[in-house]
């Protein structure tokens, strides 16, 4: 059974946690990516920083957690891709459809972030190997 047939759009972005946001932005700029959005976001009782780097139709979300939480990222040796985000037309409908189909959803409801011009809402599904698949609607 296929789900989200009328709601699924495309791969929206790939999320990569980094330990030095400025260094990572410079690296991707050398590859021809442009920083199209920089924002802060709440993370536990602190603030993280994010940058959306875009080249053609490819968007990479670079994000840095507060310094107190970077040791876990530094310990990773084989890469740091954290999630692949799929664009959806209606995140609330997608959430209800996936929840009803028994998918393992991390959040209790779609989460709002003050990203882009009017914000975005997302939720994350765990795949069979623990991979994180984010479903995201730019508002």
4/7 Cα distance (integer angstroms): 5
Per-residue model confidence as pLDDT tens digits over 103-125: 999 999 999 999 999 999 999 99
> For the chain, what percent of residues have pLDDT higher than 70?
99
In order of their start, the domains of the chain are 8-138 (3.10.180.10)
pTM score above 0.85? no
The residue written with tokens 């939720």 in the block is 123
The torsion region of residue 129 among left (phi > 0), alpha (psi -120 to 50) and beta comes to alpha
Q: How many CB atoms lie within 10 A of CB 133?
A: 15
Where on the phi/psi map is residue 132: left (φ > 0), alpha (ψ -120 to 50), or beta?
beta
Q: Given its phi and psi angles, is residue 130 left (phi above 0), alpha (psi -120 to 50 degrees) or beta?
A: left
Strand-pairing partners, residue 87, are 10, 136
pLDDT digits (tens, 9 = 90+) for 68-83: 888 878 887 767 888 9
pLDDT value at residue 1: 65
Chain segment 25-71, per-residue pLDDT in tens:
999 999 889 999 999 998 889 999 999 999 999 999 999 999 888 88
Alpha-carbon gap, residue 79 to 33, rounded angstroms: 19
């Amino acid at each position: 059974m296929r789900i989200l047939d009328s709601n699924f759009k495309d791969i929206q972005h790939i999320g990569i946690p980094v330990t030095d946001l400025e260094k990572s932005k410079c690296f991707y700029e050398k590859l021809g990516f442009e920083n199209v959005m920089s924002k802060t976001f709440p993370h536990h009782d602190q603030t993280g920083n994010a940058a959306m780097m875009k080249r053609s139709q490819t968007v990479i979300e670079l994000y840095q957690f507060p310094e107190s939480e970077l040791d876990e990222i530094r310990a990773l040796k084989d890469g740091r891709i954290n999630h692949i985000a799929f664009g959806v037309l209606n995140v609330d409908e997608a959430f209800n459809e996936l929840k009803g189909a028994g998918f393992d959803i991390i959040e209790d409801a779609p989460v709002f972030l003050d990203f882009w011009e009017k914000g975005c809402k997302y939720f994350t599904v765990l795949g069979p190997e623990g991979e994180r698949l984010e479903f995201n609607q730019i508002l």
